[in-house]
Every structure is written in structure tokens, then in C-alpha cells.
Amino acid sequence: MPSSPRPERSERRLVRAAKRGSREAFEELFRMHWARAHRTAFLIVRDGAAAEDIAQESFVAALRHLDRFDGRRPLGPWLNRIVVNRAIDWTRTRRLRAEVGAEPWLDDCREAAVEGPDSRAEQVPAPLMDALGRLSPERRAVVVMRYLLDYTPSEIADALELPTGTVNSRLRRALDQLGAEYGE
């Protein structure tokens, strides 16, 4: 029985085809990475509709700049960097606008709107999700990537183009803040 191609090789083949303009290849890459991109955006922005917009915009940006992507590397971390940066920007903009009223993301996270085989978000208690929402976007991003998406600090550093020390510092400060707010 013939073995199927390794996922990395299959992804590389799809990236090469997408770079040449193959719509089918891009659609397959979209299917492969959509759930994680959406989950990443949601865990940072805490708003289902915004997370969907951010994930979609990130895919459009990735497609537009696919020529800049190093095809020898996996696509997921590069795409997640785009998603995380856009989610952080969205959160900053929202804070600057200082919208008044109830926070709709609280209802979204209580409903455990994030699902998926590699997601632990559905196991996160609502009070902790609320505390995550009070972190700065930069701290929330590294906590989400480290503890909910299982990135290592060096992978986070690579994805966000930060020194590993900065990632570790943000993680430490975020965990200290969460511990103080969550009571641990």
C-alpha cells in the first residue's frame, strides 16, 4: 500500500502551487490552517466576529505576500504571526476607541466558542478566561501561544520576531498578573 506524502512535503507542494497562482492549492492551505488561525485570533481578541474577520484578513495578507514566505519553513508559524499581529492591532485599536458598554467577548468565551482537536480553550475556566482578557494584548498573545497553542518560547520569539528574553519576560509578567487576579 503506498504511503501518503508527509504533511510537511504536502504543505510545501501546496505553497509552491499557491505561489504560482493555484486557487485550489490556496484553498487547501486555507482548510489546513483555518481552525488554528481563527482560534488564535479568538483567544487574543475574545470576540467571535472580530476573530473571524482577523483570520480572514490574515489569509488575504498571506496570499498577497506569499512571495515573501520562505517555502523551506512550515506555513503555520508564519501565518500565526500575521494573525497574532493583526489581533494585537485590533485589540489596541479597540482600547483606543474606549468603547463603552458590556464586553461581548465575555459571553463568547463563556460559551467556549473555541473548539478543535489541538485546543485546550474549552478546558479553561471562565474566571481564567476573564483574567486573560485583562492582560495587555502583547502578554495575552504570548500566553495564548505558549499555553493554549503549545508553542515553545523560542517558537513564539521566531513567530513574533522578538528576542526569546522578551517572550520569557512577557510570559513571567503575564503569569504574575494572572496569579494575582485569578488567585493562585
Q: Which residues have a Cβ under 8 Å from the Cβ of 2 and sit 6 or more positions away?
A: none
Alpha-carbon distance of 39 to 8, in angstroms, equals 21
Q: What share of the chain is helix, strand, coil (3-state, %, to 5)?
A: 75, 0, 25
Predicted local distance difference test score (pLDDT) of residue 16: 92
Phi-psi group of 85: left, alpha or beta (phi > 0 → left; psi -120 to 50 → alpha; rest → beta):
alpha
Name, of 29-43, 85-99, 106-120, the range with top average pLDDT. 29-43
Predicted local distance difference test score (pLDDT) of residue 112: 41
Q: What is the pLDDT of residues 122-134, one digit of tens each?
A: 566 777 778 888 8
Q: What is the pTM of this model?
A: 0.71
Alpha-carbon distance of 36 to 80, in angstroms, equals 8
Q: Which residues have a Cβ under 8 Å from the Cβ of 20 and sit 6 or more positions away?
A: none
Task: Answer for the pair 105, 43: CB distance below 8 angstroms, yes or no.
Answer: no
| Complete DSSP assignment for 125-178 | -HHHHHHHHTS-HHHHHHHIIIIIS---HHHHHHHHT--HHHHHHHHHHHHHHH
Q: What is the pLDDT of residues 69-112, one digit of tens each?
A: 988 888 999 999 999 999 999 988 876 554 444 444 444 444 44
Backbone angles phi, psi at 69, to 5 degrees: -75, 135
45 pLDDT more than 80: yes
140 pLDDT more than 60: yes
Q: Tell me the percentage of the chain whose pLDDT exceeds 70.
A: 78
